[in-house]
Structure 1
């Protein structure tokens, strides 16, 4: 499919007029530094949705965009309400398994995390029969059903993270080989468990297929959690959802007379059948509930010829707020890289575009909320767009810019999926850089940032990360920087602003973002997904008749 896609793009470019690239912009790196530093300061308390940090973030953005002369994007307002419920689990019991060779108890925090999407003050799962359901996938189009032949209503399902073929070296396999599909994401697994009627859905944590350590699970899943509000209070969701540590899952399987490694191996093969473990699970907790409307922020630089056509830049402004303290007692997850950098990039790019003057099309800058809670802000925008999605030409998403220095490449998440790749390649050539495929497609980054919410609605979205082949030190230095960030800062209190950061890579990446956005805004083209892509039909349907 990728070869066909490449041929399609080449044919498109051959038939289309070649557009002149915009002049190389003067990217305001000092603006990047200033806004990143301010957003990630302790005064913003980690920018949790519904907190004082949100109010400060939105006020800062309104002031910055107003100063640049941009217009509020939502009928005179900078903001779009996103209905959320903040749920904080309290009085959480241990997750207790009985009926096996010996009782197994997993403590909340170090050994398991648990929560709910249901808007209810109390959750109790008592003596629920436990079933191992492999990867928890029901995919009729692939003739794969991990729930086949078993009714799990009222039962607790134990689920493996990622896809059955994530260890495949290449990209061939029923679930994309090494590349994670949506079936591998924890969000899907909880959704499917709910459809099956499970009382509790527990994912077994494993660092490699999850793409992060237990420390990330613990910091992200304890404390206040944001869920989308719904008229039914999300009562269709499974009552309890969460994670269990690998060691505790092994102990559970041993108590049930099973071996986790053997069950995992069996679950990777077609025809796997769920395994009743002969034990029961119990857990209970209270919920503190607070309904509130968090906010998406949208600003527009109006176009001078076709103002009703929009080029979109997106980034999420939120982070985790207060979280598990570091050894020094610091409990503010500042989110400097993730994603104060992306939010600051919206401001810096708006400054560069405003300085260049109004383009033919409008350019919209969308800062969304609750990305860290499961892309809730961008999902809400995709389902309730302020600007018509059929009139949204394409978008660029920015999430966690690399401050490791200049790189020879960029890593494209979802390379080969849309005609936007051609614009990126042209912009890269001007920078003397190249585009490479993501080296770890098994981590499922395509489904972990806000571009996905817009892509599902058909809008062509480009998402790339700072390169992993650094000018100073090459790939070894790039891998070391990524490992250091993931292990010591990602979703923790030490993702803080550092005056020693090297901004050369950020400056180059911002020139790419600017060039792509400006070229789209000055052209009359309507990029699409390549033929056969999963999002092509939605785009074609939305553009019919326009």
Structure 2
């Protein structure tokens, strides 16, 4: 049988293959622009002493946001907020100081707790003095009220005007029972932010979380340091009176001492609280403390730029990395500047390199691409929360959010770790992109730390936007899994939220972050040139269908 192909059909086929070839060349042009040298330039500036630790409400903020805006303009991204790269975020800065010792009294026994070593406590209320006198204490298990899961630690419990003590994380972590919440993977109910929110909804006067390193994901020293540093809150009409009067953490030793007065052991209470039949109960111990607040009302700044799409400019793919860190604080080993090179200098460089890749494209994408640098992530995702409440483009047309945080400069990885694996159909796109780099996609092996709820993508997820937190973090191509885990542990224990988090060009290897940037650029490029909207999977808590 003869196959006849017309002249016009041949021309069409040539055009199709030519167009496809042009697209591939354009994609490669963008990918090849991503490089370690440019990343190093960004990080060396952002993590330098010149930026004074990038703390909101300080001169370091002005230096940081002006630099970010200049770089967005330089690479060809337009202002996202009308004619401005800046979005003002109204906040209050509260410096809480505990006057004297905290007293826990049980009958004729008095336990004196020293802040911040034994108890890390602050007040979120816009009041100069918080005087707690003999507040009754209640043990409320994990402090969770989840009707959809048939779990309520506050059932038949009156905590109004009382101080609630709760455990960190979810019951599933400590039992290994996959039928309890998500087993070892933390849900939002396990986060300290949720526990503070729920205690306030229940009318509690105060809440204290018993620290435990595995469940929290970090040592008590992190909360200790946080409690003696000024904290930021969104400005509210009720002066934060809807919050508990005080919130905080008990060290393990302090919690043990407090409960031993009444004959309880924390280990026994944790085991009991993991059972569905557990009943929370009132303690006979009362707590007293005096907190003095210094309050400053001001605004911090979100930064964003946009590359407008050709045909669907109102639909947007967004890349995010918070700019803020802790400024100048408590001195360690002679250094008091918290430069935040890994947290979050490496991720800001990741965003800029992806942005430059899109800007280098000969054919601009059909959808818009936005680069977003939120403020006050370290204070509870405040900048990204404000942004999602006041977006420059509709949240309903935000296609996907790609966020990163704590990208370790330890070389190329075999894995692409998806924190929040199983949440959305972005997983499949990321898995396909990983294979093109001879890598494999994997769930976060430390999902019990709740990282999916600890960075700015979570603000977008809460608004229904499928959001990805993706980076190589499990298996070094050169050194393997054990070495990689050791490096991550070393960072968390010795550099995380400490002045030692500095740019170290002699020892850093940025090639893994380069590969991660190319992967996220590739997935975003695909999304930016289709009409496809990723969706939440049926098992996700963000699936609202």
Are the equivalent residues in 2 in contact too, given 1:91–1:286 (CA < 8 A)? Answer: yes
- 2:76 aligned residue (59, 66, 69): 69
Q: Once the 2 structures are TM-superposed, how far is the Cα of residue 363 of structure 1 from its aligned partner?
A: 0.6
How do 1:30-429 and structure 2 match up within 5 A?
30-100=37-107, 102-169=109-176, 172-326=178-332, 328-357=333-362, 358-429=364-435
Q: Distance in 1 between matches of 2:113 and 2:209?
A: 13
CA distance 1:303–1:536, shift in 2 (3 Å): same
Q: Once the 2 structures are TM-superposed, how far is the Cα of residue 346 of structure 1 from its aligned partner?
A: 1.9
Are the equivalent residues in 2 in contact too, given 1:323–1:492 (CA < 8 A)? Answer: no
Larger Rg belongs to = 2
Unaligned stretches of 5+ residues in structure 2: 1-19
Are the equivalent residues in 2 in contact too, given 1:402–1:465 (CA < 8 A)? Answer: no
Are the equivalent residues in 1 in contact too, given 2:175–2:274 (CA < 8 A)? Answer: no
Q: Distance in 1 between matches of 2:179 and 2:500?
A: 38
**Residues 14-38 of structure 1: CA deviation (Å, up to 9, x unaligned):** xxxx997632433132221111111
SS in 2 for 1:124: strand
CA distance 1:427–1:367, shift in 2 (3 Å): same
Q: Once the 2 structures are TM-superposed, how far is the Cα of residue 536 of structure 1 from its aligned partner?
A: 2.9
Are the equivalent residues in 2 in contact too, given 1:222–1:323 (CA < 8 A)? Answer: no
Q: Once the 2 structures are TM-superposed, how far is the Cα of residue 276 of structure 1 from its aligned partner?
A: 2.0
Are the equivalent residues in 2 in contact too, given 1:144–1:271 (CA < 8 A)? Answer: no
Are the equivalent residues in 2 in contact too, given 1:101–1:256 (CA < 8 A)? Answer: no
Q: Distance in 2 between matches of 1:142 and 1:430?
A: 39
Q: Distance in 1 between matches of 2:99 and 2:502?
A: 31
**Residues 99-145 of structure 1: CA deviation (Å, up to 9, x unaligned):** 24631111112111111221111111111111111111112222222
Q: Distance in 1 between matches of 2:76 and 2:445?
A: 40
Q: Distance in 1 between matches of 2:497 and 2:460?
A: 24
Structure-1-length-normalised TM-score: 0.92
Q: Once the 2 structures are TM-superposed, how far is the Cα of residue 207 of structure 1 from its aligned partner?
A: 0.8
CA distance 1:276–1:531, shift in 2 (3 Å): closer
Q: Distance in 1 between matches of 2:365 and 2:276?
A: 53
Aligned to 2:471: 465
Moved more, 391-400 or 369-378: 391-400
Are the equivalent residues in 2 in contact too, given 1:95–1:107 (CA < 8 A)? Answer: yes
Q: Distance in 1 between matches of 2:324 and 2:226?
A: 13
**Residues 51-90 of structure 1: CA deviation (Å, up to 9, x unaligned):** 1111111100111111112100011110111111100013
Aligned to 1:3: none
Moved more, 241-250 or 97-106: 97-106
**Residues 194-233 of structure 1: CA deviation (Å, up to 9, x unaligned):** 1111111011111111110011112223211011111111
SS in 1 for 2:171: coil
Are the equivalent residues in 2 in contact too, given 1:132–1:277 (CA < 8 A)? Answer: yes
Unaligned stretches of 5+ residues in structure 1: 1-17, 541-546
Q: Distance in 2 between matches of 1:364 and 1:84?
A: 24
SS in 2 for 1:103: strand
Structure-2-length-normalised TM-score: 0.92
Q: Distance in 1 between matches of 2:171 and 2:426?
A: 31
Runs of 4 or more consecutive aligned structure 1 residues displaced over 6 Å after TM superposition: 18-21
Aligned to 2:10: none
Q: Distance in 1 between matches of 2:154 and 2:114?
A: 28
Are the equivalent residues in 2 in contact too, given 1:29–1:348 (CA < 8 A)? Answer: no
Aligned to 1:8: none
SS in 1 for 2:331: coil
Q: Once the 2 structures are TM-superposed, how far is the Cα of residue 532 of structure 1 from its aligned partner?
A: 4.7
Q: Distance in 1 between matches of 2:108 and 2:150?
A: 36
How do 1:443-458 and structure 2 match up within 5 A?
443-458=449-464
**Residues 142-175 of structure 1: CA deviation (Å, up to 9, x unaligned):** 22221222211111111110011212446x2231
Q: Distance in 2 between matches of 1:385 and 1:93?
A: 44
RMSD (Å) for aligned C-alpha atoms: 1.7
Moved more, 337-346 or 21-30: 21-30
